[in-house]
Amino acid sequence: MSKAIQVYDDGKLVDISEKEVEAVQKMRQVYFAIKNVSDQAKEAKISDQNFISGLLRFAITIVEGVCYGQTRTASPDNRLDEKTKRIWDSLHPKIFKIVGDVKTSEEDRVAIERSNAAPQMSYNVNKKFEGVADRFGNKDLEGAMDSLKAMLGWNLSKYERAVVHQFMGFVYVQQNDVDAAIKAFKTCVDYNELSNSQHQGTVFNLASLYGSQEKWDLAIDSLMQFYKFEQDPAAESYIMAGIAYFQKGQPLKALPYIHIANQKAEKPKENWLQLELAILFINKRYDEAIGIVKQLATYWPDKEQYWETMAGAYMEMQKDTDALAALNLGYKNNAINKEETLENLARLSFYLEIPYQAAEIMQKNMDSGLVEKNEENLRLLLGAWTSAREFDQAIEIIDALASMLKDGTLYIQKAMLLNEKGDWSGIKDAVDMALQDQELENPGDVYILRGMAHTELGEFDEAIDSFTQAIEVGTDGNKRNAEAWIEYVSDRQGR
CATH number (domain holding residue 366)? 1.25.40
Q: What does the alpha-carbon distance between residue 164 and residue 156 come to, in Å, rounded to a whole number?
A: 10
Question: Is 77 within a domain?
Answer: yes
Query: Distances in Å between the alpha carbon of 106 and those of 230, 264, 288?
Result: 12, 11, 19
User: Identity (one letter) of the amino acid at 422?
Assistant: G
pLDDT at 1: 46
pLDDT in tens, the chain (495 residues): 445 555 555 556 656 677 776 776 777 777 777 777 777 766 665 666 667 766 776 666 666 555 555 444 444 555 556 666 566 566 655 655 555 554 454 445 567 776 666 778 899 999 999 999 999 999 999 999 999 999 999 999 999 999 999 999 999 999 999 999 999 999 999 999 999 999 999 999 999 999 999 999 999 999 999 999 898 899 999 999 999 999 999 999 999 999 999 999 999 999 999 999 999 999 999 999 999 999 999 999 999 999 999 999 999 999 999 999 999 999 999 999 999 999 999 999 999 999 999 999 999 999 999 999 999 999 999 999 999 999 999 999 999 998 888 788 898 889 889 988 889 999 888 888 888 888 788 888 888 889 998 988 888 889 889 889 989 888 889 899 889 998 888 888 765
Task: Determine if residue 474 is left, alpha or beta; phi over 0 gives left, psi from -120 to 50 gives alpha, anything else beta.
Answer: beta
Tell me: do 444 and 480 sit in the same domain: yes
Tell me: do 416 and 468 sit in the same domain: yes
**C-alpha 138: how far from chain center:** 49
Length of the chain: 495
- Distant-in-sequence, close-in-space partners of 157: CB < 8 Å, separation ≥ 6: 119, 121, 122, 193
Tell me: do 383 and 314 sit in the same domain: no
Question: Is 13 within a domain?
Answer: no
Strand, coil or helix: what is 5? strand
User: Identity (one letter) of the amino acid at 320?
Assistant: D
Tell me: do 381 and 411 sit in the same domain: no
Nearest to 214 by CA among 189, 185, 186, 246: 246
Q: How many domains does the chain have?
A: 5
Question: Is 450 within a domain?
Answer: yes
Question: Is 459 within a domain?
Answer: yes
The CATH number for 426's domain is: 1.25.40.10
Last residue of a domain, one of 372, 403, 434: 403
Question: Is 45 within a domain?
Answer: yes
Tell me: do 154 and 242 sit in the same domain: yes
Burial of 278 (0-12, 13-18, 19+ CB in 10 A): middle
Instruction: Decide: 195 and 118 in contact? Cβ < 8 Å.
Output: yes
Nearest to 311 by CA among 296, 327, 332, 297: 327
pLDDT at 35: 75
Tell me: do 387 and 414 sit in the same domain: no
Tell me: do 215 and 262 sit in the same domain: yes
The reported pTM is: 0.70
Instruction: Decide: 427 and 413 in contact? Cβ < 8 Å.
Output: no
Tell me: do 377 and 359 sit in the same domain: yes
Tell me: do 136 and 221 sit in the same domain: yes
Question: Is 176 within a domain?
Answer: yes
pLDDT at 13: 61
Tell me: do 382 and 438 sit in the same domain: no
pLDDT at 296: 97
Tell me: do 295 and 230 sit in the same domain: no
Question: Is 25 within a domain?
Answer: yes
- b/e code 224-259 from CB counts within 10 Å (16+ = b): ebbbeebeebebebbbbbbbbbbeeeebbbbbbbbb
Query: Distances in Å between the alpha carbon of 484 and those of 188, 363, 476, 491?
Result: 106, 43, 13, 11
pLDDT at 112: 75
Instruction: Decide: 176 and 157 in contact? Cβ < 8 Å.
Output: no
Half-sphere exposure of 415 (CA within 13 A, CB side): 25
Domain with 392, as residue range(s), is 337-403
Tell me: do 267 and 150 sit in the same domain: yes
Question: Is 29 within a domain?
Answer: yes
Burial of 15 (0-12, 13-18, 19+ CB in 10 A): exposed
